[in-house]
Structure 1
Amino acid sequence: MDTIAHVLVVITPAEGHVNPSLGLVTQLVDNGEQVVYVCTEEYRSRIEQTGALLITYPFPQDAFSHDPVLKPQEYKHPYQFTYMMVAGIIQRIIPEVLRVIENQKFDYLIFDSLMGWGGTILAEKLGIPAVCSIASFALINPLGAEEGVKELDTDTKELYEATMKITHALAQEFQVSVPCIDEIPAHAGELKLVYTSRYFQPYAEKMDNRFIFSGPSIIPRQDGQTFSFELLRERYPQTVYIAMGTILNKNLEFYQLCFEAFGDIPVNVVLSSGRYTDMEPLADQIPSNFIVMPYIAQLDMLQHTDVFITHAGMNSASEALYYNVPLVMIPLTSDQPLVANRVEELGAGITLNKHKLSAADMREALLEVLSNPSYKQQACIIGESLRQAGGYKRAAEMIMSHMASFHNKISNTKLTNK
């Protein structure tokens, strides 16, 4: 396939899924591919910066914070996660994508792993090979399975039935075969692109060479005010950075706990409170060693950070470790407990229980990570594995060469059969 390939990229409209894809898409465009990126209006400016053509469909802005089906939760059973995919994502997004790209032809598809079986529908309807873009760890089992699958109680049976009812309707609508429930969340596609390293990925030994581990997609973002890092170091030699992600950062009680826990430790504490968080009620409680800002350019900040206090979202944790920063983690929902467990297992951080959070525990965890050099050492080992993974340049190269050989095989088969 020496000619320019037409690539369709379909990613779930959520920060943690769109952001990791941007470096890859930029590189594919730079390498000469023509990319059509289907997403929502909310992500227009950053997608257009990649050089891709954006096609949008209607979807409520910030749905992952407000929508009852999509809102992050702790999955106690894999069927909860599968139901969220089918009812929240596949049913709402896949028909829209097929509508907005009607009559267009593509050579291959890159789709988001949260779409699961939805990516298979797209690939089948378009008759093209697909790559699954996995913005968290690759999962052998769906989220919730680590709780140990329990007997089917009434609620679980209802979830199963509700999920399969929608699945049957979609299969009929698109004239595709009905998957069994376990196939819906599985990572489909010819290749599976994971934005981490084999070292950081749990159970990586169980994953074959269709999994490409390219490390996190670290691309400079022109999107945040920065401040004088020299000024920080004049105050205190060490800096702690606190950010709880874009979906879950409006918790004022948590910020109060931070003030109480760290207000009298001789370190700089930089708190990113979130653009839409009203900090006014706490304005007179902010300790003098804190700098509170609604938004901070995280990649810049992490390069001047000694410890990162985070919800352990995959992007945030990976970006910190890429810059060798150890973590204090308070996982809240979805895949965050998995990420936190892995960081702790590899010795690069401490996990706290959000249900039993106290100022004393937070303080103790921070002081332990600040004073014990082993956390930093382990963060450096993970960081090195992430930096060596090749990033979006390697990902683009591997996808393009795989697709070229795939199309050559198809062409040769057609010639042979003539």
Structure 2
Amino acid sequence: MTSYRFLVTAIDSYGHINAALGFAEGLKAAGHEVYFAHREKHRHLAVKRGFSFIPFDNQLGETNLEGAIFQWIDAFADKFRQEPLKRFKGISLDEKESLIVQAKIFAELNAALQRIVSDENNKFDGIVSDTITPYPFLYKHSIPWFPLASLNPLILYPKGPPPFSGYSVNSDPSNWDEFREAYQRAHSRLTETTNENLTAAGLDPAKFDSARFVSSLQTIGFYHYPADLDYIECEPKDPNWHRVDAWVRQPDFDTEFVIPEKLQDKPGKVIYFSLGSLGSADLVIMKKLIAILAKSPHKFIISKGPRGDALELADNMWGENYVNQIAVVRGVDLVITHGGNNTFTETLYYGKPMIVIPYFYDQFDNAQRVVDKKVGFRINPYELDEDYLLSCIEKIFEDKEMQDRVKAISHNMRNSNSFSQAIKMIERRIEQSKSKS
């Protein structure tokens, strides 16, 4: 078998980085050489997996995407606790302008990656990139590139409900256009600025649509979602995008999860709670949820997030700012999550039902898909009800049919060959590219 050298990267956000790492693990397992390019602080994640690492910190500004989003959350936190349509219809001019920082950060990442690929000492056969905006550097070289979509796949189904709305496929379609228009208006400045940057780079065909994904694939792309939950009722999907049921990464640390001593003698089931690295930055919502869960008869493992030092946990809880999530999910009975696509797919892969408390964007779509497919419950942060949340926990433990559905999805994800087939597709594309050249 021919071994190829891949450059793998992602936008400056933990969810996308983790997804890229998981896909890169599959490339390495297939015998390929992986170079992971990102900020120095992520070196250990690459080295642990046997990847070569290329840092690009000195080529970037001080602002990073997650840091910018933290500032965004702090400035507009009250709006994040509104339902999506109301939020986007009421977006202020200041908030529209604040979104433009994303375009600036993408431009810096593009310049850093352009320098890496242009370096004569770096020779790559393929590029795998988990991104939202098409990077101009990808179009400037003859290297085949393969984008990843590590988010809810409604963005690939034009006939489905509008992405990021949280609308059910069974909802009234007459309301869908109102959301699409509000979302596009809310992101108009970001869209304009991004497309100005793309045009300046000579990429008129590669237009960015803030509610869609890369519109001009050079080859093929891959999205991460279990077949049992995919939106086949909304077909056709965008051409050349292929589903992978699971590319779940290995744990970041080799230690097994053990119930902390503090909780070992306490009664009840073990529940993992995380709002992700971004949602957990909203301390108001985190404190509300911790206060509610303190009244549950069960015990909780809490991922406190980047501001976890400001949180006080109850007696039925143990937590740290960062936990070894994959290892934890394997060992619990239920997951309460924000519905980010990584945690969402990891939870299903390990056969755990879930309660989704969505905070923004595709998290709302994953939350609704859980309801539509009867594998858990959705709790909206803008209408948080203590009794309902606590009752949902008990209903899940009492519902054997729901638990069986989740186990069946897990079985199908684990036995799918879609990941190995995706890598073979990539290999064939590279072979074709080399034969042409």
User: Taking structure 1 as the reference length, what is the TM-score of the superposition?
Assistant: 0.81
Cα distance 1:154–1:376, how it changes in 2: closer, same or farther (>3 A)? closer
Cα distance 1:318–1:89, how it changes in 2: closer, same or farther (>3 A)? same
Q: Which residue of 2 aligns with 1:379?
A: 406
1:90 aligns with 2:121: no
Cα distance 1:107–1:69, how it changes in 2: closer, same or farther (>3 A)? farther
Q: Which residue of 1 aligns with 2:213?
A: 185
SS of alignment partner, residue 380 of structure 1: helix
After superposition, what is the alpha-carbon deviation per residue over 1:209-261, rounded to whole angstroms, capped at 9, x for unaligned? 64142413231321778433798565325222211111221444444434543
Map residues 239-388 of structure 1 onto 2, 5 A cutoff.
239-279=270-310, 282=312, 286=314, 288-388=315-415
**Aligned residue among 157, 167, 172 for 2:195:** 167
Q: Which residue of 1 aligns with 2:172?
A: none
SS of alignment partner, residue 124 of structure 2: coil
| Distance in 1 separating the partners of 2:72 and 2:55 | 22
SS of alignment partner, residue 127 of structure 2: strand
CA contact (8 A) 1:195 1:216 kept: yes
After superposition, what is the alpha-carbon deviation per residue over 1:288-314, rounded to whole angstroms, capped at 9, x for unaligned? 332333332222222222221111111
After superposition, what is the alpha-carbon deviation per residue over 1:340-384, rounded to whole angstroms, capped at 9, x for unaligned? 111111101110111111322211221222222232122223222
| Distance in 2 separating the partners of 1:96 and 1:229 | 42
CA contact (8 A) 2:354 2:377 kept: yes
| Distance in 2 separating the partners of 1:325 and 1:315 | 14
Cα distance 1:277–1:237, how it changes in 2: closer, same or farther (>3 A)? closer
Q: Which residue of 2 aligns with 1:7?
A: 6
Q: Give the structure with higher Rg (CA).
A: 1
After superposition, what is the alpha-carbon deviation per residue over 1:108-147, rounded to whole angstroms, capped at 9, x for unaligned? 22122413x32xx333201232211111133225845777
Q: Which residue of 2 aligns with 1:227?
A: 258
CA contact (8 A) 1:38 1:55 kept: yes
CA contact (8 A) 1:257 1:358 kept: no
Q: Which runs of 5+ in 1 are unaligned?
A: 412-418
CA contact (8 A) 1:47 1:54 kept: no
| Distance in 2 separating the partners of 1:85 and 1:392 | 34
Q: Which residue of 1 aligns with 2:38?
A: 39
| Distance in 2 separating the partners of 1:252 and 1:113 | 28
CA contact (8 A) 2:164 2:364 kept: no
User: Taking structure 2 as the reference length, what is the TM-score of the superposition?
Assistant: 0.77
SS of alignment partner, residue 229 of structure 2: coil
Amino acid at match of 2:305: G
CA contact (8 A) 1:196 1:216 kept: no
CA contact (8 A) 1:214 1:392 kept: yes
Displacement of 1:271 in angstroms is: 2.0
Amino acid at match of 1:97: L
| Distance in 1 separating the partners of 2:185 and 2:423 | 42
**Aligned residue among 202, 212, 217 for 2:231:** 202
Q: Which residue of 2 aligns with 1:101?
A: 117
1:401 aligns with 2:408: no
After superposition, what is the alpha-carbon deviation per residue over 1:156-175, rounded to whole angstroms, capped at 9, x for unaligned? 66954663355234423x33
CA contact (8 A) 1:197 1:213 kept: yes
Q: Percent identity, aligned pairs only?
A: 18
Amino acid at match of 1:167: N
1:148 aligns with 2:176: yes
CA contact (8 A) 1:216 1:319 kept: no
Q: Which residue of 2 aligns with 1:20?
A: 19
Q: Which residue of 2 aligns with 1:414?
A: none
| Distance in 1 separating the partners of 2:186 and 2:268 | 56
Q: Tell me whether 256-265 or 61-70 shows the greater mean CA deviation.
A: 61-70
Cα distance 1:269–1:158, how it changes in 2: closer, same or farther (>3 A)? closer
Q: Which runs of 5+ in 2 are unaligned?
A: 90-95, 168-174
1:110 aligns with 2:128: yes
Displacement of 1:19 in angstroms is: 0.9
SS of alignment partner, residue 235 of structure 1: coil
Q: Which residue of 2 aligns with 1:416?
A: none
CA contact (8 A) 1:347 1:374 kept: no
Amino acid at match of 2:276: G
Cα distance 1:180–1:195, how it changes in 2: closer, same or farther (>3 A)? closer
Displacement of 1:7 in angstroms is: 2.3
| Distance in 1 separating the partners of 2:355 and 2:140 | 45
Q: CA RMSD in A?
A: 3.6
| Distance in 2 separating the partners of 1:258 and 1:363 | 11
SS of alignment partner, residue 34 of structure 2: strand
| Distance in 2 separating the partners of 1:153 and 1:259 | 36
| Distance in 1 separating the partners of 2:181 and 2:399 | 46
Q: Which residue of 1 aligns with 2:150?
A: 135
